[in-house]
Amino acid sequence: MKGSHRKGFLITILVLTAILLASAPVSADIYMFVDKNGVRHFTNTPTSPKFHLFVKGKRPRHRTPLNKKDYDLLIKKAALKFNVDFSLIKAVIEVESAYNPQAVSPKGARGLMQIMPFNFKALKLSDPFEPSQNIMAGTRYLNDLIHQYKGNIKHALAAYNAGPGNVDKYNGIPPFQETRNYVQRVMALHRIYRTSS
Protein backbone atom coordinates (compact mmCIF):
# COMPACT_ATOMS: atom_id res chain seq x y z
CA MET A 1 0.00 0.00 0.00
CA LYS A 2 1.46 3.36 -1.03
CA GLY A 3 2.11 5.98 1.65
CA SER A 4 -0.69 8.36 0.60
CA HIS A 5 -3.21 5.51 0.28
CA ARG A 6 -2.13 4.10 3.64
CA LYS A 7 -2.50 7.51 5.30
CA GLY A 8 -5.97 7.98 3.75
CA PHE A 9 -7.01 4.51 4.88
CA LEU A 10 -5.85 5.17 8.46
CA ILE A 11 -7.72 8.49 8.52
CA THR A 12 -10.86 6.68 7.36
CA ILE A 13 -10.51 4.15 10.18
CA LEU A 14 -10.01 6.93 12.72
CA VAL A 15 -13.08 8.82 11.47
CA LEU A 16 -15.24 5.69 11.58
CA THR A 17 -13.99 4.85 15.07
CA ALA A 18 -14.79 8.40 16.24
CA ILE A 19 -18.30 8.13 14.79
CA LEU A 20 -18.87 4.83 16.53
CA LEU A 21 -17.62 6.16 19.86
CA ALA A 22 -19.58 9.38 19.55
CA SER A 23 -22.78 7.49 18.88
CA ALA A 24 -22.40 5.15 21.86
CA PRO A 25 -24.34 3.49 23.33
CA VAL A 26 -26.43 3.28 20.15
CA SER A 27 -23.86 2.26 17.57
CA ALA A 28 -24.06 0.19 14.43
CA ASP A 29 -22.00 -2.19 12.36
CA ILE A 30 -20.08 -0.60 9.49
CA TYR A 31 -19.76 -2.51 6.21
CA MET A 32 -17.30 -1.88 3.39
CA PHE A 33 -16.57 -2.97 -0.13
CA VAL A 34 -13.88 -1.90 -2.61
CA ASP A 35 -15.09 -1.24 -6.16
CA LYS A 36 -13.18 -1.98 -9.36
CA ASN A 37 -11.51 1.45 -9.19
CA GLY A 38 -10.17 0.78 -5.71
CA VAL A 39 -12.64 3.17 -4.06
CA ARG A 40 -13.82 2.09 -0.62
CA HIS A 41 -17.56 2.34 0.08
CA PHE A 42 -18.86 2.34 3.65
CA THR A 43 -22.40 1.92 4.97
CA ASN A 44 -24.28 0.82 8.06
CA THR A 45 -27.11 -0.65 5.95
CA PRO A 46 -25.61 -2.78 3.16
CA THR A 47 -27.87 -3.29 0.16
CA SER A 48 -25.59 -5.74 -1.62
CA PRO A 49 -23.72 -8.93 -0.67
CA LYS A 50 -20.55 -7.17 -1.90
CA PHE A 51 -20.37 -5.39 1.46
CA HIS A 52 -18.45 -7.14 4.25
CA LEU A 53 -18.38 -6.33 7.96
CA PHE A 54 -15.66 -3.73 8.59
CA VAL A 55 -16.33 -2.50 12.14
CA LYS A 56 -18.55 -4.34 14.62
CA GLY A 57 -20.67 -1.90 16.59
CA LYS A 58 -21.85 -2.64 20.11
CA ARG A 59 -25.59 -2.61 20.56
CA PRO A 60 -27.25 -1.95 23.90
CA ARG A 61 -28.33 -5.09 25.71
CA HIS A 62 -32.05 -5.63 25.94
CA ARG A 63 -33.66 -8.28 28.04
CA THR A 64 -35.35 -10.93 25.93
CA PRO A 65 -39.06 -11.06 26.75
CA LEU A 66 -39.75 -13.96 29.10
CA ASN A 67 -43.27 -14.29 27.79
CA LYS A 68 -43.30 -15.76 24.28
CA LYS A 69 -46.78 -14.30 23.79
CA ASP A 70 -45.48 -10.71 23.87
CA TYR A 71 -45.51 -10.51 20.07
CA ASP A 72 -48.64 -12.59 19.42
CA LEU A 73 -50.75 -9.63 18.25
CA LEU A 74 -48.08 -8.56 15.77
CA ILE A 75 -47.63 -12.14 14.57
CA LYS A 76 -51.40 -12.61 14.12
CA LYS A 77 -51.57 -9.40 12.08
CA ALA A 78 -48.73 -10.60 9.80
CA ALA A 79 -50.23 -14.10 9.57
CA LEU A 80 -53.55 -12.68 8.37
CA LYS A 81 -51.97 -10.22 5.95
CA PHE A 82 -49.72 -12.78 4.25
CA ASN A 83 -51.75 -15.96 4.86
CA VAL A 84 -48.95 -17.73 6.74
CA ASP A 85 -49.66 -20.07 9.67
CA PHE A 86 -49.39 -18.17 12.97
CA SER A 87 -47.64 -21.15 14.62
CA LEU A 88 -45.05 -21.33 11.82
CA ILE A 89 -44.13 -17.66 12.25
CA LYS A 90 -43.74 -18.13 16.02
CA ALA A 91 -41.51 -21.16 15.45
CA VAL A 92 -39.30 -19.26 13.00
CA ILE A 93 -38.93 -16.35 15.43
CA GLU A 94 -37.96 -18.67 18.28
CA VAL A 95 -35.30 -20.47 16.25
CA GLU A 96 -34.01 -17.33 14.53
CA SER A 97 -33.70 -14.96 17.50
CA ALA A 98 -35.18 -16.57 20.64
CA TYR A 99 -37.59 -13.60 20.64
CA ASN A 100 -34.79 -11.05 20.99
CA PRO A 101 -35.73 -8.02 18.84
CA GLN A 102 -32.14 -6.71 19.01
CA ALA A 103 -30.52 -9.96 17.82
CA VAL A 104 -27.70 -9.66 15.26
CA SER A 105 -26.15 -12.79 13.76
CA PRO A 106 -22.44 -13.12 12.87
CA LYS A 107 -23.47 -12.76 9.21
CA GLY A 108 -25.38 -9.53 9.89
CA ALA A 109 -28.98 -10.82 9.95
CA ARG A 110 -31.08 -8.63 12.24
CA GLY A 111 -34.09 -8.57 14.48
CA LEU A 112 -36.73 -11.10 15.47
CA MET A 113 -36.82 -12.89 12.12
CA GLN A 114 -33.12 -12.32 11.34
CA ILE A 115 -33.41 -10.50 8.04
CA MET A 116 -30.26 -9.83 6.02
CA PRO A 117 -29.55 -6.17 5.19
CA PHE A 118 -29.49 -6.76 1.43
CA ASN A 119 -33.18 -7.81 1.68
CA PHE A 120 -34.32 -4.66 3.51
CA LYS A 121 -35.28 -2.68 0.41
CA ALA A 122 -37.23 -5.47 -1.29
CA LEU A 123 -39.09 -6.19 1.96
CA LYS A 124 -39.72 -2.48 2.67
CA LEU A 125 -37.88 -2.71 5.97
CA SER A 126 -36.44 0.56 7.29
CA ASP A 127 -35.78 -0.46 10.92
CA PRO A 128 -34.97 -4.16 11.38
CA PHE A 129 -35.02 -3.81 15.18
CA GLU A 130 -38.60 -2.54 15.27
CA PRO A 131 -40.66 -5.71 15.99
CA SER A 132 -43.71 -4.86 13.87
CA GLN A 133 -41.64 -4.02 10.79
CA ASN A 134 -39.39 -7.05 11.21
CA ILE A 135 -42.25 -9.53 11.68
CA MET A 136 -44.12 -8.11 8.67
CA ALA A 137 -41.01 -8.23 6.48
CA GLY A 138 -39.99 -11.72 7.62
CA THR A 139 -43.51 -13.09 7.13
CA ARG A 140 -43.70 -11.52 3.67
CA TYR A 141 -40.43 -13.24 2.75
CA LEU A 142 -41.57 -16.56 4.23
CA ASN A 143 -44.83 -16.32 2.27
CA ASP A 144 -42.88 -15.65 -0.95
CA LEU A 145 -40.76 -18.76 -0.32
CA ILE A 146 -43.78 -20.95 0.46
CA HIS A 147 -45.31 -19.92 -2.87
CA GLN A 148 -42.00 -20.37 -4.68
CA TYR A 149 -41.77 -23.95 -3.42
CA LYS A 150 -45.46 -24.70 -4.09
CA GLY A 151 -46.46 -25.04 -0.45
CA ASN A 152 -43.51 -27.23 0.59
CA ILE A 153 -42.87 -25.79 4.06
CA LYS A 154 -39.60 -27.66 4.60
CA HIS A 155 -38.13 -26.37 1.35
CA ALA A 156 -39.33 -22.83 2.16
CA LEU A 157 -37.66 -23.02 5.59
CA ALA A 158 -34.44 -24.36 4.07
CA ALA A 159 -34.47 -21.41 1.65
CA TYR A 160 -35.11 -18.99 4.51
CA ASN A 161 -32.01 -20.35 6.24
CA ALA A 162 -29.61 -21.16 3.40
CA GLY A 163 -31.01 -19.11 0.52
CA PRO A 164 -33.20 -20.17 -2.42
CA GLY A 165 -30.12 -20.70 -4.59
CA ASN A 166 -28.94 -23.58 -2.41
CA VAL A 167 -32.39 -25.20 -2.30
CA ASP A 168 -32.61 -24.98 -6.10
CA LYS A 169 -29.06 -26.27 -6.50
CA TYR A 170 -29.73 -29.41 -4.43
CA ASN A 171 -33.38 -29.71 -5.53
CA GLY A 172 -34.48 -29.73 -1.89
CA ILE A 173 -33.00 -29.25 1.56
CA PRO A 174 -29.25 -28.72 1.02
CA PRO A 175 -26.80 -31.08 2.76
CA PHE A 176 -25.73 -28.47 5.31
CA GLN A 177 -26.01 -29.65 8.91
CA GLU A 178 -26.98 -26.16 10.08
CA THR A 179 -29.85 -26.00 7.58
CA ARG A 180 -31.06 -29.54 8.31
CA ASN A 181 -31.05 -28.82 12.05
CA TYR A 182 -32.82 -25.51 11.42
CA VAL A 183 -35.64 -27.13 9.45
CA GLN A 184 -36.07 -29.88 12.07
CA ARG A 185 -36.18 -27.39 14.96
CA VAL A 186 -38.69 -25.07 13.27
CA MET A 187 -40.95 -27.96 12.26
CA ALA A 188 -40.85 -29.41 15.80
CA LEU A 189 -41.74 -26.06 17.37
CA HIS A 190 -44.40 -25.52 14.73
CA ARG A 191 -46.12 -28.74 15.83
CA ILE A 192 -45.84 -27.76 19.50
CA TYR A 193 -47.32 -24.31 18.91
CA ARG A 194 -50.17 -25.73 16.82
CA THR A 195 -51.20 -28.23 19.48
CA SER A 196 -50.92 -25.71 22.32
CA SER A 197 -52.85 -22.88 20.67
**What is the pLDDT confidence band of residue 23, given thresholds at 50, 70 and 90?**
very low
Q: Return the pLDDT at 46.
A: 66
Q: Return the pLDDT at 118.
A: 92
**What is the pLDDT confidence band of residue 44, given thresholds at 50, 70 and 90?**
low
23-31: average pLDDT: 52
**What is the pLDDT confidence band of residue 9, given thresholds at 50, 70 and 90?**
low
**b/e 102-128 (16+ beta carbons within 10 angstroms → b):** bbbeeebbbbbbbbbbebbeebebeeb
44-59: average pLDDT: 64
94, 68 in Cβ contact below 8 A? yes
Q: Return the pLDDT at 27.
A: 44
> What values do phi and psi take at 157, rounded to 5?
-65, -40
Output 161-165 pairs: Cβ under 8 A, ≥24 positions apart.
none
Domains and CATH numbers, the chain: 3-55 (no CATH), 72-196 (1.10.530.10)
**What is the pLDDT confidence band of residue 37, given thresholds at 50, 70 and 90?**
confident
Q: Is the pLDDT of residue 22 over 50?
A: no
Which has the closest alpha carbon to 108: 165, 51, 23?
A: 51
Looking at the chain, the number of H-run helices and the number of E-run strands are 7, 3
Active site residues: 96
Please, what is the angle between helix 86-97 and helix 177-196, to 10°? 130
Strand partners, 32: 42, 52
